A and B are shown apart, each in its own frame.
Chain A
Amino acid sequence: MTVAQQVEGGIVVEHVRRSFGEVHAVRDASFTALPGTVTGLIGPNGSGKTTLMLMLASLLQPEGGSIRIAGFDPMDATAEVRSRMGWMPDVLGSWANLSVRSTLEYAARMYGMDRSTASARAEDLVQLVDLADLAASPTRVLSRGQKQKLSLARALIHDPEVLLLDEPASGLDPGARTQLRLLVRRFAAEGKTILVSSHVLTELDEMADGVVYIDGGVTASEEAVARSRASARPWRIRSSDGEALRSALMSAGIASAEITADRKDLLVPLSGEGAAATLLAHLIGSGVPISAFAPAVGDLEHTFLDLSSGDQS
């Protein structure tokens, strides 16, 4: 039984590849995103994220492998996929002369809604993404962040089961980011499948349940991601007494060469949460005043850096 047959709905990608002439944008991508979860798609620039997104969005044909969106193949059942999938592109395009409200009304009617349903739906979404004040303004006057909200609203217009969000947070102010995160979590709670591609890794850390890492057109296996999560990463320790901290660290068995200073803090590589807890207990037992003790990089950033450096070596 293949993965696609086991999973109902969601996104199932198996060994998908796509090249443009000599450029192999996506060589072998496989992952599964389950309904009710938020999956992050991360990778360096030019790693094939956007090409993969376009294939998922039913705009580009894969050359091999299979894709299932909400149970349908975008190649054979394009309309079924499109009626169940919402796509927010990284390119912010809008019909410049139309108002925010009529943009959404047109988008709704493109999904076959009648006039009154479309206008009710547009009204709901204007409220949802917090653009009610600008509903009557032409879209050309919107700021980048406001266009981003409009783009999200358009992706949601037909209440899709599967959401593909390409860089949804770029251009948003901190308040709007929080709002976006809550919104995305709420959609997941409603049972939607959400795939978020982003460079803002701390952001994804807060909203993603799982992560797909892609580099050079190849997705990293789940084991590789799990391994890199467990691998040593720097922790940031702050103390008012730097010298005492350094000697306490060395007494805990950490080589002097491994300790690096970063402004007032010291960075120490630790493998996993267990090692961190043990070290913290030791430091406090030694009477060193500790004011901060935390990973220096987020989970995803660590995975990202670990996997990209692993590929290069």
Chain B
Amino acid sequence: MSAFFSGLWVILTLELRQRVRTASWYVLIGVFVALIAIVTVVVSVALRGFGADDLGGAAIYSTIIYFVLLLGTLVAPALSGNAINGDRDAGTLATTQVTLITTWQLIIGKFLAAWVTALAFLAAAVPFLIYASVVGRLSAAAITVSILILAIELGVVAAIGVGLSGLVARPLFSVVLSYLAVAALSIGTLIAFSLGGLAVQTEVSNVSSYGTDYNSAGNAITCSAPETYTYRAPRFDLFWGVLAANPYVVLADAVPSSFDRNGNPTDLFGQIKSGVRSAQIAPETLVVFNECTNTFPQTPSARDVIDSTTPGWFVGLTIHLILAVGALVGAWARIRTPAARLGRGSRIA
């Protein structure tokens, strides 16, 4: 077992030295830190303008976490998407495979290197996260969960990139595919959710009866005859499962929310969470509005929505982990030696 890890360590350090630790990489981290600093300042000032007092920190914190997720998923495919086929092109894959390094050591080492690289963005953001969490008085649970989920999601993207670089012969193509996979999860799920919800619609009847005469207390005593009109409402409740696979939603859904006095979430996570969770609720097919009987459509608070609906983040996370492991296993089957078959036009050396 220790032989396995020492081989893994060799590949990991080699990968970091060879592929990642270059001048342009440090420039990228520098730009990233500058961007986060700008975001932190702008969000702080903006929230002060809205009068959010001590809780502005929670919003800053969640914004930074999302920013790290965004940049991490944008950068990780570029760094991991040619990990294996790039080596083949450079003629260094076969010379590694002919040593005592096993295929799993090679693949996991490369995956860990890509993951560590993506986590460097998280590390660079730590000072800002500390500031925001102190100002926002975040709960330890929220901090732990958000960072943990973020780290796992970055690992998923790294694994998909490394896996595709083993499965696909050409580096350019595998990098593009990795980006498409990230886009499918981040944006594709959103599009599928919206289109699905809009495609399937339910007829909703609205029966309204308005007050025509009021007593001195302002209550209606006589009302108009009930007017019925119908409209069609999208059925997002049938497609909320699609959104569960979205990494931003997974993150938001997993983090324990905190609410203000009116039951509104204090951070971006909570807002997205309540939005996604309310999609689970099927639209009422009969909406009654009657001023005489004081019957009004109820709008539940974000807190009520979140408390009454099903969390879906672990489903999404499981899907992501299956994708990541599947990509790595696929790459293993594809590049293991002695090779049974070669891809079209691919040279083993």
Q: Is the CB of A89 within 8 A of B99?
A: no
Bound complex: CA of A91 vs CA of B90, how far in Å? 9
In the complex, how many residues of chain B place their beta carbon closer than 8 angstroms to a beta carbon of chain A? Answer: 30
Residues of chain B within 8 A (CB-CB) of A107 are: 95, 99
Q: Is the CB of B338 within 8 A of A111?
A: no
Shortest CB distance B268–A (Å): 39
Q: Is the CB of B96 within 8 A of A98?
A: no
Shortest CB distance A54–B (Å): 6
Residues of chain B within 8 A (CB-CB) of A90 are: 349
Q: Is the CB of A20 within 8 A of B100?
A: no
Q: Is the CB of B18 within 8 A of A111?
A: no
Residues of chain A within 8 A (CB-CB) of B329 are: none
Shortest CB distance B45–A (Å): 42
Q: Which of B10, B94, B100 contacts A106 (CB 8 A)?
A: B10
Bound complex: CA of A75 vs CA of B339, how far in Å? 10
Query: If the complex has contacts A74-B338, A98-B18, are A112 and B6 also in contact, measured as CB distance less than 8 A?
Result: yes
Q: Is the CB of A59 within 8 A of B92?
A: no
Bound complex: CA of A183 vs CA of B173, how far in Å? 43
B195 at the interface (CB under 8 A from A): no
B196 at the interface (CB under 8 A from A): no
Q: Is the CB of B18 within 8 A of A89?
A: no
A58 at the interface (CB under 8 A from B): yes
Bound complex: CA of A112 vs CA of B6, how far in Å? 8
Q: Is the CB of B17 within 8 A of A98?
A: yes
Residues of chain B within 8 A (CB-CB) of A260 are: none
Q: Is the CB of B349 within 8 A of A89?
A: yes
Residues of chain A within 8 A (CB-CB) of B342 are: 20, 60
Query: If the complex has contacts A59-B97, A59-B98, are A94 and B92 also in contact, measured as CB distance less than 8 A?
Result: yes
Query: If the complex has contacts A75-B338, A110-B100, A111-B100, are A93 and B91 also in contact, measured as CB distance less than 8 A?
Result: yes
Residues of chain A within 8 A (CB-CB) of B191 are: none
Residues of chain A within 8 A (CB-CB) of B91 are: 89, 91-94
Segment at the B interface, from A7-15, A78-86, A126-134, A248-256: A78-86
Q: Which of B95, B99, B101, B339 contacts A60 (CB 8 A)?
A: B339
Residues of chain A within 8 A (CB-CB) of B339 are: 59-61
Query: If the complex has contacts A61-B338, A110-B99, are A93 and B90 also in contact, measured as CB distance less than 8 A?
Result: yes
Q: Is the CB of A82 within 8 A of B100?
A: yes
B211 at the interface (CB under 8 A from A): no
How would residues 86 to 113 of chain B score, 1 for a CB under 8 Å from any chain A CB and 0 otherwise? 0100111111111111000000000000
Residues of chain A within 8 A (CB-CB) of B349 are: 50, 54, 59, 89-91, 93
B262 at the interface (CB under 8 A from A): no
Shortest CB distance B296–A (Å): 68
Residue of A90, A106, A154 contacting most chain B CB atoms (<10 Å): A106
What residue in chain B is nearest A61 (Cβ atoms)? B338
Query: If the complex has contacts A98-B18, A106-B10, are A58 and B337 also in contact, measured as CB distance less than 8 A?
Result: yes
Q: Is the CB of B100 within 8 A of A59?
A: no
Q: Is the CB of A82 within 8 A of B95?
A: no
Shortest CB distance B90–A (Å): 5
Query: If the complex has contacts A59-B338, A82-B100, are A89 and B6 also in contact, measured as CB distance less than 8 A?
Result: no
Q: Which of B96, B100, B347 contacts A79 (CB 8 A)?
A: B100
A87 at the interface (CB under 8 A from B): yes
Residues of chain B within 8 A (CB-CB) of A154 are: 95
B217 at the interface (CB under 8 A from A): no
Shortest CB distance B280–A (Å): 51
B22 at the interface (CB under 8 A from A): yes
Residues of chain B within 8 A (CB-CB) of A87 are: 95, 98
How would residues 85 to 117 of chain A score, 1 for a CB under 8 Å from any chain B CB and 0 otherwise? 101011111111110001000110111100000
Q: Is the CB of A93 within 8 A of B18?
A: no
What residue in chain A is nearest B340 (Cβ atoms)? A61
B41 at the interface (CB under 8 A from A): no
A57 at the interface (CB under 8 A from B): yes
Bound complex: CA of A93 vs CA of B88, how far in Å? 9
What residue in chain B is nearest A92 (Cβ atoms)? B91
Q: Which of B7, B21, B98 contacts A82 (CB 8 A)?
A: B98
A55 at the interface (CB under 8 A from B): yes
Query: If the complex has contacts A20-B342, A54-B349, are A106 and B14 also in contact, measured as CB distance less than 8 A?
Result: yes
Bound complex: CA of A93 vs CA of B94, how far in Å? 9
Q: Is the CB of B340 within 8 A of A89?
A: no
Q: Is the CB of A58 within 8 A of B18?
A: no
Query: If the complex has contacts A54-B348, A74-B338, are A89 and B94 also in contact, measured as CB distance less than 8 A?
Result: yes
Bound complex: CA of A94 vs CA of B87, how far in Å? 9
Q: Can you list 12 pairs linking A and B with CB atoms under 8 Å apart?
A: A58-B98, A58-B337, A59-B349, A79-B100, A82-B100, A83-B100, A93-B349, A94-B92, A97-B18, A109-B10, A110-B101, A151-B95
Q: Which 8 A-B pairs give the minimum distances between C-beta atoms?
A: A93-B91, A110-B99, A91-B91, A93-B92, A61-B338, A91-B349, A95-B18, A109-B10
Known interface pairs A60-B342, A93-B87; 17 further A-B residue pairs with C-beta atoms within 8 A, sorted by A's residue number: A20-B342, A50-B349, A54-B349, A58-B337, A59-B338, A82-B100, A85-B98, A87-B98, A89-B95, A92-B91, A93-B91, A93-B92, A93-B95, A94-B90, A110-B100, A112-B6, A154-B95
